[in-house]
Structure 1
Amino acid sequence: MGSRRDYYNDPDAPEPNSLKPGGSALVVDDSGRVLMQRRGDSGNWSFPGGIMEVGETLEECVVRETREETGLDIEITGLLGIYTDPAHVIEYADGEVRQEFAVVYYGRVVGGDIQVSHESTAVRFLSLEELEGLPVHPTVRLRLRHHREGSNLPWLG
């Protein structure tokens, strides 16, 4: 196991001992491709994002984390959804077992240049078709499906 292991609808998942508000950005370019990073801790492709810090809003957190993880400056343009499924549990090497609590915002690039951070092995814009053949956690695939469906209402679940 790397420093992180995701469980989803897994009866063998450990009991959560933590709940932290986090957010991520679903950033789409003019060609409809989605900004993704390949996580260094799991090898999965995911949206940039992270955990909110004291003194910032969740929107500020997502803008900061996107800049840190991808080199790109974004602005928040909308809300894809709120994801708090207790069936998604994330176990970290330090013993923390976190229940999912993620707000996924839409964003658009306003500056910067793509750079790989210490948290990822690759950063790029990928089409939804390209992502079908790559390692993506089922919870991120759910978010991509909600994006593809194009509802005007945010997902609440």
Structure 2
Amino acid sequence: MSKATRRIDHWRDPNAPKPTSRKTSASVFVRNDDGALLLLKRVDNDLWTIPTGGVKKGETVGQAGVRECREETGLDVEVVGLVGVFSTPEHVIVYMHGDRVDEVRQPINICLRARLLGGDISPQPSEAAEVRWVDPADLGRYPIHPALLERINHGLANTEPHIS
């Protein structure tokens, strides 16, 4: 998706458009030694999220999560577990280019637990407007879409994977 592409997330919206596609994405839930959570501000909707992106042909879900984290934040991580699989039809994403709808997607997200290996925070401007380590107690200060907050809250509160 280009920078000119806008993303509109619908959550539990009976008036949301019907999906035209499904695509698998990988996200990574990363905490530092102080317990802070890695968040980034998306450029396509100005909401905060954990590193997330589509799984490309020829790569595993784990490879996609590691790649997306590096692209979006500049940080290197390794996958150490599973937060869960999030595939509820209550989340629909509309991708628009100008006034034209490019795609209406019902996502399947596999959220992975990851451990920081190194690197320096250096977001690519096309990927993230900002990257921060955030104390979980401060999450309420950040605009986060409910579908992403569901992943984050599950990762914070549970060790067993979520499946929906």
1:74 paired to 2:81:
no
Q: CA deviation at 1:49?
A: 1.7
Q: Does 1:112 align with 2:119?
A: yes
CA distance in 2 between partners of 1:66 and 1:145 (Å):
19
Aligned length: 156
Which 4+ stretches in 1 moved above 2 angstroms?
A: none
Please report how far the alpha carbon of residue 76 of structure 1 lies from its aligned counterpart in structure 2 after TM superposition: 0.2
Offset, 1:148: 2.4
1:1-157 → structure 2 map (5 Å cutoff): 3-93=6-96, 94-117=101-124, 118-150=126-158, 152-157=159-164
Contact 2:27 2:111 in 1 (8 A): yes
Q: Distance in 1 between matches of 2:156 and 2:120?
A: 26
Which one-letter code corresponds to 2:41 in the other structure? R
Query: Mind listing any 5+ residue stretches in structure 1 that lack a counterpart?
Result: none
SS in 1 for 2:147: helix
Deviations 1:42-84 (A, max 9, x none): 1111011200111110100110111000000100010000000
Summarize deviations over 1:85-107 as a string: whole Å, max 9, x none.
00100000142000020000000
Distance 2:141 2:76 in 1: 28
* TM-score, reference length from structure 2: 0.91
Structure 2: gaps (5+ residues): none
Superposed displacement of residue 24, structure 1: 0.4
Kindly indicate which of the two structures has a greater share of residues assigned to strand. 2
- Whether contact under 8 Å (2:38, 2:134) holds in the other structure is yes
Shift of 1:141: 1.4
Percent identity over the alignment is 39
Q: Over residues 3-26 of structure 1, what are the superposed CA-to-partner deviations in whole Å (9 max), with x where a residue is unaligned?
A: 100000001100000111111000
Question: Which deviates further from its counterpart, 81-90 or 139-148?
Answer: 139-148
CA distance in 2, matches of 1:31, 1:140: 22
Q: Partner amino acid for 2:105?
A: R
String of CA shifts for 1:91-126, please: whole Å, max 9, x gaps: 001420000200000001112110121221100110
- CA-based RMSD of the aligned residues comes to 1.3
